[in-house]
């Protein structure tokens, strides 16, 4: 387990009520929950080199799913299959009625791999798994991006989506992201050492971490859509989950989650809300939707400021026009640099002494680029940060009676303070 996660869990243990209490956040309504399991047939052949042990772990996972009447979707990383015995483990999942989806061949990171190489790998995984399923009368429907990373450029995002459409697969998103995988190696080592105390600590930390993640992400989805939302939890095929799933699933059922099928959950329109999230790190669908809404809101707010500025200028109100600038804003033009809103106002008053000299201002926005960066949650998950600023490229045009129109370009930097957006830098040419 990572040092960051251990520290976060220690802090959570101090701040949060005991497990089982009605702790933060409190959910209302019933939430359909799809259980998905990545990295089939087993997450780490390195930790479990013995084929008999891999089968024991697989049967343990399937037994817990059967106990709770859960029909899961297992995402296959074909590199983990390795041998006919690995295929036999996949057959056990199919025999119990679970669906298998594509999780690539070699589990490459799209943000660290060229698009051609990455798409060749995921296509190899698709073709191999599709043939395996077809021989058993099954059909491949779903794909999940390794690491939940859908591309760090718009070109990669678009190419991945085009490949999905061309191959008839649907991206299977995650709403409840977690780090259950990080408990696996410590668990295996503690079990091998017969360290009961360590196993107990890991059990407590695992349950606390995943319960907090489930509550937090579900509350986020509910807040985004103002209703009880369906959820897709990401889990992994590993040994620690054979010991932890029973308690986790029992707790989930007691907190208003209802285990549901992939078709029911994926039919909900919340799972289909569009976004164009591009970033180094993946994460919950709710974070991507929230990010898309923040970006759209930033664009609308900035464009509204510019529309007001155009109207203020066109009616001859320089005070209102300059109110869009931050008090310490910097204005750069071929004539030099002005610092501060008051200096800018005085400069405009000298150059444009009356409404006739000001004329009518048109601002045509060419681009708005919101500025944000990745952040890390207390439990170590990457999340898109808030949009705190934005850059704008626009063409300005002055229309005045009896004179030829004057036009040029401007590059603006906006900064958000609370709900207010103001210009902090203006370079006009």
- Provide the terminal-to-terminal Cα distance of the chain, rounded to the nearest Å: 54
The encoded tokens of residue 207 equal 């349950």
The encoded tokens of residue 231 equal 């959820």
**In Å, how far are 57, 137, 238 from 47, measured between CA atoms?**
12, 33, 10
Average pLDDT of every residue of the chain: 93
- pLDDT at residue 48 above 90? yes
The encoded tokens of residue 324 equal 């869009």
**pLDDT per position as a tens digit, 300-323:** 999 999 999 999 999 999 999 999
The encoded tokens of residue 97 equal 């009625």
**pLDDT per position as a tens digit, 350-401:** 999 998 999 999 999 999 999 999 998 877 888 899 999 999 999 999 999 9
Mean pLDDT, residues 144-168 taken together = 97
What SS3 state is found at 46? coil
Q: Which of 338, 302, 245 is nearest to 57 (CA)?
A: 245
Q: Which of 313, 297, 271 is nearest to 173 (CA)?
A: 271
- CATH number of the domain at 3-283, out of 3.20.20.370, 3.10.20.30, 3.20.80.10, 3.40.50.300? 3.20.20.370
CA distance 44 to 185: 9
Helices (H), 323-377: 341-351, 355-358
- pLDDT at residue 9 above 60? no
CA distance 250 to 99: 22
pLDDT of 24 reads: 55
* Domain layout of the chain by residue ranges: 3-283, 294-428
The size of the chain, in residues, is: 429
- pLDDT at residue 340 above 80? yes
The lowest-confidence range among 244-253, 288-297, 355-364, 373-382 is 373-382
**pLDDT per position as a tens digit, 269-282:** 999 999 999 999 98
pLDDT of 1 reads: 46
pLDDT of 376 reads: 86
- pLDDT at residue 16 above 70? no
Same fold, 3-283 and 294-428: no
What SS3 state is found at 22? coil
**Is residue 197 classed exposed, middle or buried when 0-12, 13-18 and 19+ CB atoms within 10 A define those classes?**
exposed
CATH code linked to domain 294-428: 3.10.450.50
Q: What is the value of pTM for the model shown?
A: 0.89
The lowest-confidence range among 22-31, 161-170, 243-252, 352-361 is 22-31
The alpha-carbon radius of gyration of the chain (Å, integer) is 27
**pLDDT per position as a tens digit, 114-140:** 999 999 999 999 999 999 999 999 999
pLDDT of 255 reads: 95
- pLDDT at residue 107 above 60? yes
Phi, psi at residue 137, to the nearest 5°? 75, 25
Mean pLDDT, residues 154-172 taken together = 98
The encoded tokens of residue 85 equal 């015995």
- pLDDT at residue 13 above 80? no
Torsion sign across C-alpha atoms 276, 279, 284, 290: negative
Torsion sign across C-alpha atoms 36, 39, 45, 50: positive
CA distance 396 to 137: 63
pLDDT of 27 reads: 82
C-beta atoms surrounding 46 within 10 Å:
7
Is 398 within 8 Å of 420 (Cβ atoms)?
no
pLDDT of 377 reads: 81
Q: Residue with structure tokens 């606390």?
A: 208
Is 27 within 8 Å of 256 (Cβ atoms)?
yes
pLDDT of 4 reads: 47
């Amino acid at each position: 387990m990572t040092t960051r996660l251990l520290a976060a869990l220690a802090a959570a243990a101090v701040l949060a009520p005991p497990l089982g209490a009605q702790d933060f956040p409190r959910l209302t309504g019933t939430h359909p929950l799809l259980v998905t399991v990545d990295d089939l047939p087993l997450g780490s052949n390195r930790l479990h080199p013995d084929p008999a042990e891999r089968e024991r772990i697989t049967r343990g996972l399937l037994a817990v799913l059967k106990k709770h009447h859960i029909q899961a979707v297992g995402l296959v990383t074909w590199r983990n299959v390795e041998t006919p015995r690995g295929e036999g483990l996949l057959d056990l999942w199919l025999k119990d009625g679970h669906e298998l989806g594509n999780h690539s061949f070699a589990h490459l990171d799209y943000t660290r791999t060229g698009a051609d190489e990455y798409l060749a790998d995921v296509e190899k995984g698709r073709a191999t798994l599709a043939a395996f399923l077809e021989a058993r009368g099954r059909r491949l429907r779903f794909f999940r991006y390794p690491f939940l990373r859908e591309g760090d450029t718009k070109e990669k995002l678009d190419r991945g989506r085009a490949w999905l459409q061309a191959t008839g697969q649907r991206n299977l998103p995650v709403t409840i992201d977690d780090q259950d995988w990080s408990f696996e190696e410590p668990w295996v080592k503690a079990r091998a050492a017969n360290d009961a105390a360590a196993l107990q600590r890991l059990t407590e930390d695992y349950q606390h971490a995943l319960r907090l993640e489930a509550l937090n992400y579900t509350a986020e989805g509910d807040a985004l859509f103002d209703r009880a939302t369906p959820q897709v939890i990401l889990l992994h095929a590993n040994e620690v989950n054979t010991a932890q799933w029973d308690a986790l699933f029992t707790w989930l059922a007691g907190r208003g989650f209802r285990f549901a099928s992939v078709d029911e959950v994926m039919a909900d329109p919340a799972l289909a809300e569009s976004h164009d999230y591009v970033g180094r790190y993946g994460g919950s669908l709710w974070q991507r939707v929230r990010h898309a809404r923040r970006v759209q809101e930033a664009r609308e707010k900035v464009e509204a400021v510019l529309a007001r500025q155009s109207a203020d200028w066109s009616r001859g109100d320089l005070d209102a026009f300059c109110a869009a600038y931050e008090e310490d804003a910097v204005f750069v033009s071929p004539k030099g640099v002005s610092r501060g809103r008051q200096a800018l106002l005085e400069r405009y008053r000298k150059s444009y002494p009356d409404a006739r000299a000001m004329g009518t201002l048109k601002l045509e926005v060419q681009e708005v680029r919101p500025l944000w960066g990745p952040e890390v949650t207390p439990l170590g998950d990457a999340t898109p940060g808030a949009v705190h600023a934005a850059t704008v490229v626009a063409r300005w045009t002055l229309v005045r009676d009896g004179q030829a129109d004057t036009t040029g370009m401007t590059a603006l930097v906006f900064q958000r303070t609370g709900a207010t957006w103001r210009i902090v830098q203006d370079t006009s040419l």
